[in-house]
Amino acid sequence: MNKIITGKAYVLGDNIDTDQIIPAEHLVYSTSVLEELRNYGKFALSGVPPEKAGLPEGSVPFIIGENYESEYTVIIGGTNFGCGSSREHAPLALKVAGIQAVVAESYARIFYRNSVDGGFVIPFESATKLNDVIKTGDVVEIDYEKNVIKNITDGNEYVLKTLGNVFEIVKSGGLFEFARQSGMLV
Amino acid sequence: MGMTITEKILAKSAKMEKVVPGENIWLDVDVLMTHDVCGPPTIEIWKKEFGEKAKIWDKNKLVIFPDHYIFTENVHANRNVKILRQFASDYQLPNYYDVGTDRYKGVCHIALAEEGYNVPGTVLFGTDSHTCTSGAFGMFSTGVGNTDAAFILGTGKIWEKVPESLKFTFNGKMPEYLTAKDLILQILGDIGTDGATYCAMEFDGEAINSMSMYERMTLTNMAIETGAINGIIATDDVVKEYLTERGITNYEVFKSDADANYLKKFEYDVAKLEPVVAKPHSPDNRDSVKNVEGTKLTKCYIGSCTGGKITDFEFAAKILSGKKVKVPTFIVPGSTTVDKQLDERTIGGISLRDIFINAGCDLAQPSCAACLGGPSDTFGRSSDGDVVISTTNRNFPGRMGSKKSGVYLASPLTVATSAVNGVITDPREFV
């Protein structure tokens, strides 16, 4: 498994709920039919109010036009990221859009579990507030052996909390792989 | 050191003597619940991961309620219900409650209670964040995603981190202008939408003990809005009586030890509380109804797992009896049982249904309807710059439909009073 994630950051505010990540009207698409699955990418973050989309300026589209993949690789959030509903479509939508990791100060429980157990995106917790120091479009590099995120654009480096004992599930790629590798499932 | 009720139930489920907050444990699940939004992807993952060997761990412990996108022309939404129907037929599931049949129930969290799936001391997981509602029965219940649900579906087991507990004690006798909704919005304003992240919320006190089963469910229902893993109220005679009526007498009752450890304790005197709302766009954006009185409304909404129980409609009918609403007011019973009760329960000899019809309200069939927006033809959905007051649970941007609309969350008393005046109004004007 790759220990480094590099790419452009898309910055959001605090309390990004699952209705903003993927509005409920879009929860009807099949997750196994590829053309339909792409809709989750297309509508990812479409519920974020424009002025709060892509901080600090806002009004930065996450997905351009009819695309389903975003030019961004890492989401930078604040506190309580992923609050609200239990929809696993939320981390799925981010993954389909091309997001590999979210870095936030804190997470709502179900979003965190879904991200890890479904193997969609890696939910890193930052030790300090980052959504006011990293800007949308900055290139960042996450090294999760060293537990740091570096802003390549301005050279600053920030500490990430360790993933603790969910690291084993992250490393396996999800709950089912973890259970198979640890002999729980045959 | 003693244990909290949540710790005791989790220890029993993990077959452990004692559990400590922070440790990850594997639980044996008593009931798995799913619905039309998360059921199909859960089944998909289960089939993919278990392959040819895919087996439901215990058909009797799987409960499926189509409830979210039911009365819509949306082809994708209807396909999801068809997938559930096919799955139930393929595996001969005893606890599937299909739409368009006498078995249809409506909103899962209310139906779980009504149909007797909520049993003290047990562990219930559901693919819906409001699964915490069932905790009102003195059990552990929480929401999970599709992958976790698929894992449970095949194994009957799931990992969980033992939560710290927070205790909320409500002293005194509930004034008649307050409901459980005011209490949980009060807490939300105090601790915020992440104030209880990964914690158990335990409720007790005189005001809680004197509450009906359904009012208690309003409290535990919105535990998730504070980030809590579960909400819980110890089993007492009110619970026992509700269960006896449904033929359930065999269960284990757990209570927190006097020396159990709590991360924090909160105490309230209900006589000092007043009717509150959560202003747009967050359930913790609390204000007193008095402070926002006069706010012009375009829609009023009474329904959902939070505010669509029979007690919610009794509160609303008390206000609307003999009056007319000034703005479109949508009534969505939480379940088919609640729908029947609208005809059976009366005030001054007039059924609740007739009170609502005479007041000029629009009534719909039971489902989640516009609580979470839903497909564009959903009953009561917000559009454009609507200003809505609602008995539902979330008012995030776009939650009830339009991103431009603003939603005030309030008690059924406050919503009904506001419907009569067309502007937000303190229920004490009529109560």
Mutation site, A36, A83, A129, interface B, largest B CB count within 10 A: A83
Q: How far is CA B423 from CA A138, B296, B399, in A?
A: 46, 4, 21
Given pLDDT bands bounded at 50, 70 and 90, which one contains residue A3?
confident
Residue written as token pair 């480096």: A157
Is A110 in contact with B403 (Cβ distance < 8 A)?
Answer: no
- Note the pLDDT tens digit of each residue in A65-109: 999 999 999 999 999 999 999 999 999 999 999 999 999 999 999
Q: Considering only CB atoms, which chain B residues are within 8 Å of A31?
A: 41, 44
Mutation site, B38, B46, B129, interface A, largest A CB count within 10 A: B129
Phi, psi values for residue A34, rounded to 5°: -55, -45
- How much is the pLDDT for B342? 98
Chain B residues 60-79 with CB within 8 Å of chain A: 69, 74, 76-77, 79
Positions in chain B short of pLDDT 70: none
Structural contact between residues B283 and B395, judged by C-beta atoms closer than 8 angstroms? yes
Q: From the list A24, A109, A185, which residue is nearest B198 (CB)? A: A109
**B80–chain A Cβ distance below 8 A for any pair:** yes
- How much is the pLDDT for B237? 98
CA distance B80 to B70: 10
Is B197 in contact with A80 (Cβ distance < 8 A)?
Answer: yes
Is A84 in contact with B376 (Cβ distance < 8 A)?
Answer: no
Closest CA in chain B for residue A17: B396
Which two structure tokens, joined as six digits, stand for B393?
A: 């649970």
A176 CB-side CA count, 13 A = 19
Mean pLDDT, all residues of chain A = 96
SS3 sequence, B85-118? Answer: HHHHHHCCCCCECCCCCCCCCECHHHHHHHCCCC
Model pTM?
0.97
Is the pLDDT reported for residue A2 higher than 80? no
Is A80 in contact with B282 (Cβ distance < 8 A)?
Answer: no
Closest CA in chain B for residue A32: B44
Q: Considering only CB atoms, which chain B residues are within 8 Å of A38?
A: none
Given pLDDT bands bounded at 50, 70 and 90, which one contains residue A165?
confident
Mutation site, A38, A80, A87, A89, interface B, largest B CB count within 10 A: A87
- Note the pLDDT tens digit of each residue in A4-43: 999 999 999 999 999 999 999 999 999 999 999 999 999 9
- How much is the pLDDT for A1? 60
Task: Give how far A16 is from chain B: nearest CA, Å.
Answer: 9
**B365–chain A Cβ distance below 8 A for any pair:** no
Three-state DSSP state, B129 = helix
Residue B408 parent element (H or E): strand B406-409
- How much is the pLDDT for B1? 87
CA distance B386 to B391: 16
Alpha helix segments (H runs only) across chain A? 18-21, 34-42, 89-96, 109-117, 167-172, 175-181
Residue A78 parent element (H or E): none
- How much is the pLDDT for B53? 86
Q: What is the ipTM of this complex?
A: 0.94
Q: Considering only CB atoms, which chain B residues are within 8 Å of A32?
A: 44, 48
CA distance B197 to B225: 9
